[in-house]
Amino acid sequence: MAKTFAFVFPGQGSQSVGMLDGWGDHPEVQQTLREASDALGEDVGALIHDGPKEALALTTNTQPVMLVAGVAAWRVWRSEGGALPAAVAGHSLGEYSALVAAGVLTLAQAAPLVRLRAAAMQEAVPVGTGAMAAILGLDAAQVIAGCAQAQGSFGAGSPEVVEAVNFNDPAQTVIAGTKAGVDKACELLKAAGAKRALPLPVSAPFHSSLMKPAAEKLKAALAGLELAAPQIPVLNNVDVAVQQQPDAIRDALYRQAFGPVRWVECVQALKARGVTHIVECGPGKVLAGLTRRIDPELVGASIYDPATLAETRELLA
């Protein structure tokens, strides 16, 4: 009996130099790289293959290359007879790959859109003034309380901000905000029993309220794009909901830029839809690992080269 499965797409942090090399010269991957290169006016394949790592880590490059890597793996799966999933979702930026997979956006629309999103996020907060950190070993409610306490310690009217922005698994929540706000929250959360408070090597406080100016630019760009109705249900991050109407999808993408990524709830919602297997489509195994920690009953798998594609096909047969 065929399994009920969902595809999920990773976001920033899973990129690596040469991450598409495992596919060799697979025609679907080459076609995806050509489309993205045409849309962005640069050689995306060379950037992914050659790097350097520092270039891939720039947000304005990371967002388009992760989009491309996810879409490439998806297209290989489909071209080789892989069945359609019951639903798709993506972590943060990965939601754009999910929307391309579901036919809402074309890759030619999505590549410039995520580059604009990245540039707007970078411009919203000067480098060095924002920060993010992963809090390990506390539940989400404790992290939210710690952020509120940290922000309150600066007094009313202070420009310092710190918020819980990525609910990744039951014991891992990412916080973001101003550098002073994040530092203070890390100090308080460690005192409250967090195992670790790890500063993340990112250039902007993604998904925090500080991203509101970036979201406004994204909203303007989305307004000018023709969106199609999804051919597969897309579960979004910001509401943990499936939207059918293009305007509702636009609005969710706008709010996602400055709203938290509710990944734990997304995975639980996929399970509630009858999904038993969650397949990470794109480089790395971050989401497959989170799946197991969110719900050990769910089976996590990954597709990032021909071998993992074959394994996943066998698993879902």
Whether residue 23 contacts residue 76, with contact meaning beta carbons closer than 8 Å, is answered with yes
Q: Assess whether 92 carries a catalytic annotation.
A: yes
Extended beta strands in the chain, E state:
5-9, 87-90, 130-136, 162-169, 172-178, 196-199, 234-235, 277-281, 299-303
- Of 207, 208, 277, 302, the catalytic one is 207
Report how far residue 296's alpha carbon sits from residue 294's, in angstroms, rounded to the nearest whole number. Answer: 7
The question of whether 203 is a catalytic residue gets the answer no
Give the C-alpha separation, 315 to 37, whole Å. Answer: 34
Three-state secondary structure call for residue 309: helix
- Out of 14, 26, 92, 208, the active site residue is 92
Q: How far apart (Å, rounded) are the C-alpha atoms in residues 45 and 8? A: 23
Strands in 162-169's sheet, in edge-to-edge order, are 162-169, 172-178, 130-136, 196-199
H helices, E strands: number in the chain: 13, 9
Catalytic residues: 92, 207
